[in-house]
Chain A
Amino acid sequence: GENVEQHPSTLSVQEGDSAVIKCTYSDSASNYFPWYKQELGKRPQLIIDIRSNVGEKKDQRIAVTLNKTAKHFSLHITETQPEDSAVYFCAAAYTGGGNKLTFGTGTQLKVEL
């Protein structure tokens, strides 16, 4: 089955700096890669996703890049703000795989003033 690895496990940045979180996946059939933000005790919230037919997608301060050949994808947050502090999860899924999401291990992002 699919295996998703995520790094780093914790990330501390100064407000205004950029943050980058990286994930790798094992199943070349995966073709959908969402990123979720989860605050303590809350549900995961989809912040951006990318499908395998594109290499990059951007939404304001958030961007995701995908390298299908290397089987890795990354989340980029620019101009970080304290409210960006949360746990971020990457995930992977593929058509026909029961639509199941396989999650990465998570990254605790802390944005310091």
Chain B
Amino acid sequence: GAVVSQHPSRVICKSGTSVKIECRSLDFQATTMFWYRQFPKKSLMLMATSNEGSKATYEQGVEKDKFLINHASLTLSTLTVTSAHPEDSSFYICSARGSGGVWYEQYFGPGTRLTVT
């Protein structure tokens, strides 16, 4: 149980284009989803927290107009990187917390490797 998937696993895009990454909870309802960014050999940095049906809460320093997050259902959250640039190349990981779980449980997706050329 508690499986989280991400799609795509890898994406290469040209500078200036937008990329959408999907995060799905496959066997539970995720009331909260978290989006992280991880640069090579670095730690996971929380970008934003999204609750189903409401606007995402962004961490300080994260541009909400550049990283659009939508949590339209209890099983799906999307992260759209708009007007991507090479410095946005990173490993993006989502995690999800279920409505029936304890407050501290998070289940991580497998990550999406974004490369902007």
User: Which residues of A does B touch, CB under 8 Å?
Assistant: 32, 34, 41-45, 49, 51, 89, 93, 95, 98-106, 108
Contacts and interface: CB of A to CB of B under 8 A. Distances in A.
Given A95-B103, A98-B57, A99-B104, A104 B111 contact: no
* Secondary structure type dominating chain B contacts: strand
A99 B49 CA distance: 9
Contact of B111 (A42, A93, A99, A106): A42
B97 interface: yes
B109 A43 contact: yes
A94 to B, nearest CB: 9
A13 to B, nearest CB: 20
B93 to A, nearest CB: 6
A32 B109 CA distance: 21
Contacts of A89: 43-44
Given A42-B110, A43-B110, A95-B103, A106 B42 contact: yes
Contacts, number: 49
* Secondary structure type dominating chain A contacts: loop
A43 B111 contact: yes
A66 to B, nearest CB: 14
B46 interface: yes
A22 to B, nearest CB: 15
A91 B34 CA distance: 15
Contacts of B46: 100-102
Contacts of B109: 43
B108 interface: yes
